[in-house]
Structure 1
Amino acid sequence: MIAVIISIILLVLILIRVPIPFAILGAAGIGLLWVGGLSNLIGIVEVIPMSSIGSNSLAAIPLFIFMAHLVLKSGVLASLFTSASTIIGRVRGGTGIAAVLAGAGFAAVSGSSTAAAATLAHTSTETMQKQGYSKQLASGTVASAGTLAAMIPPSILLVFYAITAETSVGKTLLAGVIPGVLMSIGLASTVWVMGLRGHAPATPATPWRAKLRAVSGLLPIIFLFLLVVGTVFLGIATATEAAALGCLGGFLLMLWKRTVSWTNLRAAVVGTVSSSAMILSIVFAAHVFGIFLTQTRVTPHVIDFVESLPVPAIVVVIIFAFIYLVLGFFMDQMAIIALTVPVTLPVVEALGFDPIWFGIIVILLAEIGLITPPLGLNAFVVSRAANIRVETVFLGSVPFIIAMLIVTALVFVFPDLSLLLTISVK
């Protein structure tokens, strides 16, 4: 009963727009006071900050964020959409497909869905509208393409899940590769189908020489992706070491593009510190909330209850997946992971399912939450950047949500789609 009341308090705090870390910490603090008094709360708050964020694996988060800022400042992403459009050539919905491919490229070096959506909105939405795309389809394509950064390594959400679930960061990142590729294909196929139905025009034909020149615009992205993900896959580096290599790669790209300056480096550092502080504060708050759940023995009670249910184990996981889908409509993705995984993951493991596979399902569902009302963050980002009503963006995202649900169902039914690449990593 205590846990239920505290959960309601937490939900109320989130709904009234209290910042997520303070909402979690406030609710957990009330719960710890209730359970063990002031001495209990003070003792936990004295110990948890260092123990929760002092882990070496957590260093991957600020390093990946710093890498993303360096790449953005290098300017190599500026021509990504143009290069993709040229390579696609004369295809129905080719510009929209190029936006999806550009989104995958952004995902491979940024790890931030909102940054990818904002950049794509500036570079591709207006182009699509000039070619005859409706505002709905143009904005929906861009908003959904931005979600790819939640799955394709080096995804910050994947790293965050791995740390929260205490699984291998390297394996979790690799587990996102095939689902990320499938999601890219699903979104691109949606644009193509919309084109066949007359909602998207064909792009102009481009000669092969222009296509070959355009490939050079993708080489920096391929280089950085192989540097980060390739070293993890081959066992050359851990995820944290790969993140450090990514930072070095990002700086080399800045040198190559001659964009190294005090202003750019300062902006990259400030942006990294700001984002990292937000994420690590959620980690700290979630650890305090986790201790509250431990003291109230919520997880063992949930496991006992679930194991006593007269339904197959897969039905329980389907129910969890539906809950995650609904939570994505209303809550921040990191907050969802921080608050629910400590409760749901032990149940899933007790039922015999792989924790990394479950994490991929959670992230896939979190992607959908980025473009669904009322709080779909990518939809608001694209709306602001492209000066399009947010209702239009939400409507334009509907066909892509269907495609994302289909891909999620495929990964759910065939776990090897997420686990195949993890076999080579210890």
Structure 2
Amino acid sequence: MTAFLIIVLLFGLLALGVPVGFAMGVAGTIGLFIVGNWDMVLGVLQTTPLSTVSTYELITIPMFLLMAELVLKSGIADDLFRAAAAWVGHIRGGLGMATAMAGAGFGAICGTSTASAATLSATSLPAMLRHGYEPKMASGVVAISGTLAMLIPPSIVLIIYGLLAEANIGKLLIAGIIPGILITITIIATVYVLAVRNPAAAPVSPRVSLRDKISLLRVIGPMIVLMMMVTGVIYTGVATPTEASALGAFGALLIAILRGKARPAEVMDAAKRAAQGTCMIAMILLGAHIFGYFFTLTMVTQNLVQWVGAMDASPWVVMVAILLVYVILGAFMDQLAILVLTVPIVLPLVVALGFDPIWFGVIVIVTAEVGLITPPMGLNCFVVAFYAKRPVSEVFAGIWPHVFAHFIAIGLMLAFPQIILWLPSMMK
């Protein structure tokens, strides 16, 4: 009963607009006081902040955020879209496909979904509209392509899942590569089907000469180097994810310098924004740990595992039910908040059912991508509408084909776990 009341208090605080980290910290503290005493509360509050921020792997977050901010300053996303558009723009729906490719490429050097969606809104969406694309189709592909940054390394969300689940962050990041490619192909295939069914919604762009195509490929070079400085060194075992994040931030700084976008004021602004993002995430993790202590004392997780274990249901039925809950929660809550609230509760159950925590983490992130574009929350849709100055209803109208296509991709990853687990199993 105490656990139920504290959960109601938590959602009440969230409904009032209290930031998720503070809401979890307050609810967890009150819960600890109820089940224990004031000395217990003080003991947790005195030790948890230091234990939270002193985690070695936490350093990856400010480094990857700094890398993302410097990449945004360099303006490389514009060039990525132009290069992709030059090569596939003459195909039916080609600019939409180029948007998905640019989203995947930018996600591989950015790591944050909202930044990716905002950047694509300012680059690829105006280009599609100028070429006569149907607004809802163009808006939909931009919104879904922005979510690729959640999955393709260096994904900040995967790192946070790893910290919450105490999983191998290097394997988690590498596990996102093949699913990221699969989701990118899914988006491209969805755009092609939509364009073939309604050619007027996706006009063909003029062909670009082979010489110009090859010339535009030079912008991909820095991106590939940056990807190798991060993902490549993690996969080969040359560096840990923490060391790779520092290499990535340094590489992004070099790119910004070479492109003339590294004036002292711009670098300081990038560092400031990265620090702000890191403080927000650290506060969320702190609140999650306090709330987690309360859940441990009240045996909520253990009781849930025992209850499900007593059910006469297939583990796959339970897994599908869990993912449906994630889809529903994603329509109403921020994806980071969902991870922090659910992973400490759900993961022990998932492991008890015999599923791999690395596999589950990637599946949850892909499911969270759907939540990023579904109403009424649909954060990426609001980001696209804001930066592109388009009605949010128009963006929501264009995402539904991609939602259904995502469910097919999730089904493939459920049926064939090696899509996720093969690459991490080959790591050195």
TM-score by length of 2: 0.98
Alignment partner, residue 120 of structure 1: 120
Q: For residue 222 of structure 1, what is the amino acid of its counterpart?
A: I
Q: Which residue of 2 aligns with 1:40?
A: 40
Task: Map 1:322-341 to 2 at 5 A.
Answer: 322-341=324-343
Query: 1:255 offset after TM fit, Å?
Result: 2.0
Structure 2: distance between partners of 1:406 and 1:39: 51
The answer as to whether partners of 1:125 and 1:142 remain within 8 angstroms in 2 is yes
Give the 5 Å matches for 1:411-422.
411-422=413-424
Q: Tell me what 1:169 maps to.
A: 169
Higher mean C-alpha deviation, range 93-102 or range 205-214 = 205-214
State whether residues 87 and 215 of structure 1, in contact with CA within 8 Å, keep that contact through their aligned partners in structure 2: no
Shift of 1:24: 1.1
How far apart, CA to CA, are the structure 2 residues paired with 1:15 and 1:192? 40
In structure 2, C-alpha distance between the alignment counterparts of 1:42 and 1:72, rounded to whole Å: 42
Match of 1:106 in 2: 106
Alignment partner of 1:219 out of 212, 218, 221: 221
Partner residue of 1:192? Answer: 192
In the alignment, structure 1 residue 400 sits paired with structure 2 residue 402: yes
Q: CA RMSD in A?
A: 1.1
Q: For structure 1, which runs of at least 5 residues remain unmatched after alignment?
A: none
**Misfit runs of 4+, over 3 Å:** none
1:227 CA drift (Å): 1.4
How far apart are 1:230 and its partner, in Å?
0.5
Which letter does structure 2 place at the counterpart of 1:185? I
Would you say the 8 A contact 2:89–2:98 is kept in 1? no
Name which of 355, 374, 383 aligns with 1:372.
374
Matching residue of 2:52: 52
1:2 maps to 2
C-alpha displacement of 1:77: 2.4
Output the amino acid matched with 2:44.
I
Give the match for residue 71 of structure 1: 71
State the Cα distance separating 1:240 from its structure 2 match. 0.6
Cα deviation for residue 274 of structure 1 reads: 0.6
1:254 maps to amino acid: A
User: Amino acid of the residue matched to residue 263 of structure 2?
Assistant: S
Letter in 2 for 1:145: S
Paired residues in the alignment total: 426
The amino acid across from 1:28 in the alignment is G
Q: Take 1:38 and 1:383, find their aligned partners in 2: how far apart are those partners?
A: 48
Counterpart CA distance in 1 for 2:203 and 2:32 is: 59
What is the distance in 2 between the residues matched to 1:148 and 1:408? 14
Instruction: Identify the range of structure 1 (99-108 vs 196-205) with the bigger mean alpha-carbon deviation.
Output: 196-205
**Residue of structure 1 in register with 2:210 after alignment:** 208
Partner AA of 1:334 in structure 2: L
Alignment partner of 2:261 out of 259, 269, 275 = 259
- In the other structure, the counterpart of 2:302 is 300
Q: Matches of 1:8 and 1:213 in 2, distance apart?
A: 58
Give me the whole-angstrom Cα distance separating, in 1, the residues matched to 2:98 and 2:427: 32
Which amino acid is 2:107 matched to? A
Structure 1 distance, partners of 2:159, 2:427, is: 16
Paired amino acid for 1:117: A
Q: CA deviation at 1:4?
A: 1.5
CA offset digits 1:65-121 (Å, max 9, x no partner) = 011111112232231111110011410011111111111111000001000100110
CA–CA distance in 2 between the matches of 1:134 and 1:234?
44
Tell me which residue corresponds to 1:342: 344
Q: 1:425 Cα shift? A: 2.9
Deviation at 1:18, TM superposition (A): 1.3
Q: How far, CA to CA, are the matches of 1:331 and 1:41 in structure 2? A: 28
Distance 2:332 2:253 in 1: 37
Match of 1:280 among 270, 273, 282: 282
5+ residue gaps, structure 2, are none
Which residue identity is paired with 1:243? S
1:386 corresponding residue in structure 2: 388
Q: Which residue does the alignment assign to 1:358?
A: 360
Q: Retained in 2: the 8 A contact 1:195–1:202?
A: no
Cα pair 2:77 2:120 within 8 Å, conserved? no
Matched, 1:158 2:177: no
1:226-251 CA distances to partner (integer Å, 9 max, x unpaired)? 21101111111111111011011111
Residue 108 of structure 2 aligns to a residue in which SS? helix
Letter in 2 for 1:239: P
Shift of 1:412: 1.3
For 1:268 and 1:120, the matched residues in 2 are separated by: 19
SS at match of 1:330: coil
CA distance in structure 2 between the partners assigned to 1:207 and 1:286 by the alignment: 54
Measured in 2, the distance between the counterparts of 1:344 and 1:265 equals 40
Q: Which amino acid aligns with 1:256?
A: L
> What's the CA shift string for 1:175-226, capped at 9, x where partnerless?
0000000000101111111110122111211222121112112111111112
- Distance in 2 separating the partners of 1:15 and 1:98: 39
What is the deviation of 1:258?
2.2
Is the deviation greater in 198-207 or in 360-369? 198-207
Secondary structure of the 1:217 match is helix
Distance in 1 (alpha carbons) for counterparts of 2:273 and 2:358: 29
Check conservation: 2:86, 2:213, Cα contact below 8 A: yes
TM-score scaled by structure 1? 0.98
State how far apart, in whole Å, the 2-side matches of 1:364 and 1:354 are.
Answer: 16
Moved more, 13-22 or 285-294: 13-22
Q: Which moved more, 1:178-187 or 1:21-30?
A: 21-30
Q: Which amino acid aligns with 1:289?
A: F
Query: C-alpha displacement at 1:376, in angstroms?
Result: 1.0
Percent identical across equivalent pairs?
43
- Looking at structure 2, the residues matched to 349 and 280 of structure 1 have their Cα atoms a distance apart, in angstroms, of 26
* Cα displacement (A) at 1:291: 0.2
Q: Is the 8 A contact 1:60 1:243 kept in 2?
A: yes
Q: Helix, strand or coil: the match of 2:152? A: coil
